[in-house]
Structure 1
Amino acid sequence: MTRPPQVPGLPLLGNALPMMGDVQRFFVDTYRRLGPVYRVKALNQAFVIMAGERANRFLLEHGEDVFSSETSFGGLNHEFGMRVHVLRGRPHRHLRKVLATGLSRDLLAARWDDVVRETEQAFDGWQGQRSLPVVDACQRLAAAQLSVAFTGASSAARFTTLRSAFELVLDVTIAGKWPAAALRLPAYRRARAEIHAFARDALAERAAHPTGGPRDLLDQALDAVDENGEQYSLDVRAGMALQGYFAGVNTVAYLYSFMLRALLDNPGVLERVTSEAGAEPITWERLRGLPALRGLILETLRVYPPAPGSARTATKAFDFEGFHIAEGDRVLVATCVPHHLAEFFPDPDRFDIDRDFTAARRASVYAPFSVGGHTCLGAGMTEALAVATVALLVRCLTITPTHPGRPLRITATPGPNPGRRFTVSVRR
């Protein structure tokens, strides 16, 4: 049985350094050198990487049969009751269906005016800053938008606690950047307790004082029952209440950050989307009629995918492309490698907002939110919200890079983003 080739790396570190930077580029370059399956090591982590169109198809068609998410995402379930990440089969499909109602575009539409108002207030706070840290500012913006959309109230007061705790869990349980002992540190335990109390208090408040408005994530969590009709435990329902914030804040924020970078790097695109945004109010109904802005979002997701791969563990041995993957192997399906292959996207290094993604989506070669049963539940909402946010931004603000000409340096902690060095100057 032939094992996949091992990617050469440094002693002890293995392939950690390139994977902590532009991990998408690392996956693409290694695919071109070694083919669609290879092995990597990063510190104490070892993975089999599956990449390319056939890898995406394999995940779509066979993922339920041969993979589990327990090893990669069990920490999220243990720490915050986010059970949907570790379930399989009927229980997983049932809980996804429950969550989908509370993370939907319809809910975003129902609270559209509140979300727009929250966005404009955030942009007011950006004005006049000469060195605005883009990733941090976009995380705070995304957190405010998502919490208002999903729960009707802002979580801004607890933003720092929520972000630090969630990112530490990801760095420990998925990236392996820190040992498990980091989750026993007193500061983290206090933050975790505060987050649990925050979620439970939100559920209790909603139970005592129903809004009478659209049913949102809190309403869904309060009433949620499992596939057998039994009510989920309080820990799981609290985890559901946190799900939208956790699942979305970094994904949405990193998309915003990369879109801003793309606009600064492509003045012609900035001119087009500014013209398209125009002077009319950005209503929910207008979002469907903004093709340049929508093209900007889709192309940004192609070039800078927020989740370049899907981490799994093989529950049984199987062969792929002539190589053997053993039971227990940790596998990362690099779902976005086709984004940079010319056979699917001609001239893939060119930023082109006029690409047609319809066929690529059907073929699962355009997969910024993964493929199969674990596709991001908030994908549709994220795209709609991103269109509106950029439209409001170019109408309200003029943004210039603090350090013109400084090359983009992507970091993968906890997900691919432009890093702390990306700062901008903002004026009305």
Structure 2
Amino acid sequence: MPPYAADSRPLPPLAPGLPLLGNALSMRGDVQAFFVRQYRALGPIYRVRALNQAFVIMAGTEANRFLRTRGDDHFSTADTMGGLDDQFGMRVHALAGRPHRHLRGRLGLGLSRELLRARWDAFAELTERRVTGWRAGSTVPVVDQCQRLAADQLSVVLTGTPATAQFELLRRAFELVLDVTVTGKLPPAALRLPTYRAARRRILAFAQAAVDDRAAHPHDGPPDLLDQAVAAADEHGRPYPPRVRAGMALQGYFGGINTVAYLYGFMLYAVLRHPHVHAEVLAEVDRAGGPPSFDTLRRMPALHGLVLETLRSYPSAPASARTVVRPFDFGGFVVPRGSRVLVATTVPHHLSEHWTDPEGFRLDRDFAGMRRRDAYAPFSVGAHTCLGAGLTEVLAAATMAILLRHVRLALPAPDHRLRPRATPGPNPGRLRVRVLGPATI
């Protein structure tokens, strides 16, 4: 972190940690709980160290409001998220201002909930086939199976074609890039390994071939992510280069293997860990009177509450990584240019000043009101809010409805406690669930 010598004000307080390791071990597990503990102990701004990495942490509703209203003026994502552009042409993560808004708009058209409506039958059939393939008496590794399911779902919804054959390749490469460029857990030299470089070439070739095939074979359905990539031009009307269009095609796979899959895993734990939630959601699925449809999801408030409360309790994107390009004051401290900042946007999720019984799990909370008060931000806030947030919420509700309708599952023990991991993003770790057999709905 750059020196503060040019300013006489004190540094933000340093979170206590171990010699050499700093806070690395604490942040490898439940990073959300770590952020909340330090906020309560140190306030809305503090510093952490993790091996050779140093960050300023900003947390609380004021931090969220700062990111939402002033983030464009003081922060850049080019250093923290630019690796996704460097490696896979995902340019949207590294842009700012008008170019960023323009490309977000193009991508947003290809990440629409209406695509799920149009391809509902293919999505539902794929999901049902996956979950009914879990054999009675077996145990299911939750993260692995949710990643495989979400990646296939999103590829079918967003491109019309499953990517099962590419899954392992995509997962290994995306996770390595995140560990190098975002979290700094691996050195940049890892991106020069021959195995990774070969995998990257194959992934880029796969994405480019998908875009080229769609250009050669247009279809009659609603425009999807591949259609947006084929037609994409920048804010001046100039076609994006091929690598950026290929990166657009990869955007859905990236989200499926990470954020969406982790949400599924946390939802599964939550519904099995809380019998009253399981009973309420299952009863609602039963009242639907048949397989769920896109439209019946709108009439299932308990299921929607399950998604939103899981995002509150177990956020899979608890912080937004930025680099300071213009220094600013916050909480009585100066944050200088060049500082690496994590805005821990979901810390307010666990604060009693905002939520009644924040450690409880309730489906009837005022999520919309808390979002307006900057106390609910599961997909970050501001210009870089997750583009697929709306689609993710609908996918998660639909997936849980289909799963509960077809399969009975159980935790290893009724009082089983989750041990989240923070790599490459917060996830349910080694959680496994027991398959009891088919559901009786």
Q: What TM-score results when the alignment is normalised by the length of structure 2?
A: 0.95
- For structure 1, list consecutive stretches of 5 or more residues without a partner in the other structure: none
| CA distance in 1: counterparts of 2:368 and 2:227, whole angstroms | 34
Q: Is the 8 A contact 1:317 1:326 kept in 2?
A: yes
Tell me whether 1:375 sits opposite 2:385 in the alignment.
Answer: yes
TM-aligned CA deviation for residue 195 of structure 1 = 0.3
Structure 1 counterpart of 2:171, from 153, 160, 163: 163
Structure 1 counterpart of 2:180, from 172, 175, 184: 172
Give the structure 1 partner of residue 110 of structure 2.
102
TM-aligned CA deviation for residue 70 of structure 1 = 0.9
| CA distance in 2: counterparts of 1:311 and 1:248, whole angstroms | 20
Aligned pairs (5 A) from 1:337-416: 337-416=347-426
Q: Which moved more, 1:290-299 or 1:182-191?
A: 182-191
Aligned pairs (5 A) from 1:58-207: 58-128=66-136, 130-207=138-215
What letter matches 1:94 in structure 2?
H
> Number of matched residues?
428
Tell me whether 1:13 sits opposite 2:21 in the alignment.
Answer: yes
Deviations 1:324-354 (A, max 9, x none): 1010000000000000011111110111111
| CA distance in 2: counterparts of 1:130 and 1:42, whole angstroms | 38
**Structure 2 vs 1, CA of residues 421 and 289 (structure 1 numbering), >3 Å: closer, same or farther?**
closer
Structure 2 counterpart of 1:314, from 319, 324, 327: 324
| CA distance in 1: counterparts of 2:21 and 2:359, whole angstroms | 30
TM-aligned CA deviation for residue 247 of structure 1 = 2.5
Aligned pairs (5 A) from 1:234-273: 234-273=242-281
Q: Please report the RMSD computed on the Cα atoms of aligned residues, expressed in angstroms.
A: 1.1
Give the structure 1 partner of residue 237 of structure 2.
229
SS at match of 1:427: strand
Q: Is the 8 A contact 1:71 1:313 kept in 2?
A: yes
Aligned pairs (5 A) from 1:264-303: 264-278=272-286, 279-303=289-313
Deviations 1:165-189 (A, max 9, x none): 0000001111111111111111111
Give the structure 1 partner of residue 336 of structure 2.
326
Q: Is the 8 A contact 1:133 1:424 kept in 2?
A: no
What letter matches 1:150 in structure 2?
L
TM-aligned CA deviation for residue 365 of structure 1 = 1.4
- For structure 2, list consecutive stretches of 5 or more residues without a partner in the other structure: 1-8
Q: Is the 8 A contact 1:130 1:402 kept in 2?
A: no
SS at match of 1:72: coil
TM-aligned CA deviation for residue 403 of structure 1 = 4.6
| CA distance in 2: counterparts of 1:405 and 1:293, whole angstroms | 23
| CA distance in 2: counterparts of 1:105 and 1:325, whole angstroms | 39
| CA distance in 1: counterparts of 2:434 and 2:88, whole angstroms | 35
| CA distance in 2: counterparts of 1:76 and 1:345, whole angstroms | 35
What letter matches 2:401 in structure 1?
A
Q: Is the 8 A contact 1:402 1:425 kept in 2?
A: no
What letter matches 2:420 in structure 1?
I
Deviations 1:283-329 (A, max 9, x none): 11101100110111100000001100000000011110101101000
| CA distance in 2: counterparts of 1:425 and 1:32, whole angstroms | 40
TM-aligned CA deviation for residue 264 of structure 1 = 1.3
**Structure 2 vs 1, CA of residues 140 and 37 (structure 1 numbering), >3 Å: closer, same or farther?**
same
| CA distance in 2: counterparts of 1:376 and 1:71, whole angstroms | 18
Overall identity of the aligned pairs, in %: 60
SS at match of 1:70: coil
